[in-house]
Structure 1
Amino acid sequence: MNFGYLIFLITSAATYGIFALGLNLQWGFAGLINFGHVAFMTLGAYATTLLSLRGLPIPLAVLVGMGLAMALGLLIGTSTLRLREDYLAIVTIGVSELIRLIANNEEWLTQGTFGVQSFPWPMDFNPTLLSRIVFVIWLTVLTIYAESILIKSLLKQWKEGKKIQGKSYQPRKPLALLIWGIITTALILTAYVPGVVSLYNYSGKAGLMLLALTLLALTYAGLEFWVHSPWGRILKAIREDEEIPRALGKNVFWYKLQAFMGGGAIAGLAGALFAWQLTSIYPSNFDTLLTFNAWIIVVLGGAGSNAGTVLGTIIFWAYDSLTRFLLPQIAFLDQSQAGALRVMVIGLILMVLMVWRPQGILGKKEELTLGR
């Protein structure tokens, strides 16, 4: 059985998960509004592909791409982070469009509208039987890790309650969380089976899927470590009220800049995966829609929650793939109408979510940054 499309979806979900985790670091934990997040992905994608074409080893090319994305974050941050948040949002939109126009017009550097093609990409080899078995075992470990994150996060949400007028904490109603848990577990298992088959009957795309999932797990684990460290607690304090950590002698500007640069580097890593999956990249691949898809994921899963971002990614891509096939089956809808309806429905879902649960599925209401 050919599971090619499912492998494509899993790789896309992992790439978007990394991309959205970078945005969650900037907005969910530091409160920095970034509407041009795709600019960092563009730098990562072009730097990785162009440098690898010139003979630089792929890992070094990826690191250079992440470094350039960090440098862009430094450039934007030093000029805007001391200003009001809306200035940062405006500047990031402008910078993302500027990066896209440079990629489109500077043919000597980016090959312009002809795109970058036939570049080296990882995992393109013929593994032995033992290697394929190891790949399957590693995918199983990643699946168990993902399921444990989900269960732990949902149980944490269930145990947390609301303290009103001195009353004790009451557990939340578990029905909605149970439904989300069942849906997400089913989606994870649906992805696991074709992943195992594709890795055993190895192809480069299956190897790229495993690499993307591994990088997603490493990014998630690294962010979880940092946001629960003293650095992360200071970042949250800055998000809530930056005057308090400033009064305690903390360099608020420097912490914001670190978060902005870190989120950019993570987006640069996602750009490398995005390029490898497409196998050829063009400036038109990096439009504003990528940024707002990441925003949808973070809002859906819960700002300030890395587990929520991963959960939001799974749900978003499940919705995207299912409606892509189901809606055109409706007789009175043509392809363009079905595409418009998909966007309209996800907008409606987000509006309902903002009313019913504005903090997202795994977010905390007291940590909302919208409207601050």
Structure 2
Amino acid sequence: MNAQTITFKESTQKKQKPKSDQLGFGQVFTDHMFIMDYTEGQGWHDPRIVPYQPISLDPASMVFHYGQTVFEGLKAYLTEDDQVLLFRPEKNMERLNRSNDRLCIPHIDGEFAIEALKELIKKDREWIPNAEGTSLYIRPFIIATEPFLGVAPAKHYQFIIIMSPVGSYYKEGIRPVKILVENQFVRAVSGGTGTAKTGGNYAASLKAQQLAGEKEYSQVLWLDGVERKYIEEVGSMNVFFKINGEIVTPALNGSILEGVTRNSVIELLKHWGLKVTERRISMQEVKEAHQKGQLEEAFGTGTAAVISPIGEFLWEEDQMKINNGETGDVSKRLYDTLTGIQKGTEPDPFNWVTKVN
């Protein structure tokens, strides 16, 4: 299967594009979408780019009843010389297939998916915003479409890609966010679906997120689901701590999402010669480092926000302010470098960017 097999139906009703300075996140969508079907015995077939539209599903479609769905998130960027770049899309497709495996969904051809994505971006290229801090957010996802009320892997699926011009994920932008450490609820445990990017993980996090919002905290920091003391990740980000010169991030343990930005940050820190360690780290250790004045920085990493400095944790009514609530030097350097590579203004020694045109 190659790009020439993708059929195209152009939208006859083009939408009005939002102004770059008025972009939120994931609220407005481009004129077209990509769809491909899966049928047991036939495999993935009928790849097509069509006008963005509602999808029609049988009420008994298994995605509604048993949550068999996975998704990804990546971005396209417009450079100063009008090129379109993707950041490590092959990593997203590799992770999508790992999620597929966990949810018993048939693998997709990652190379073909990237080619299909490139074709979709070319059709809606004019939707890519060029203002500072903006990009085109891309959401590939797969849903089980077979109408069957039985608990078993479905025999029919759809792979869909939609796109949305976006600004900053957090209203704070690169300004530090406040994070509430969750003690009551559990998001995932080793052996569960925590390493898969599947809707149920996020549905399970909403209650804690709602309660955090009521206390005016941007996100929740999840602890392990067994002992409730070891740090895992923030709701939409992996998390890093700079403690007495060492940068520490929780080791992947079977319940933490393997972030593409997380991996990129680790490689970049090592490239700079900074000490970075993947290991188990408890909230108590972070508290003690804060008390000793050794908690120098904390930040989250993810496709949506790229780098999000953390200015405060609240854990068991203990308020921990970090770096006087200001963005730290490492966080700022990482943000500037990663966004620079993504936008083509910084050197790319790792060959992370893929040109679309």
Shorter-chain TM-score above 0.5:
no
- Which gives a bigger RCO, structure 1 or 2 (Cα 8 Å, sep 6+)? 1
Q: TM-score, normalised by structure 2?
A: 0.23
Q: TM-score, normalised by structure 1?
A: 0.22
More strand by share: 2
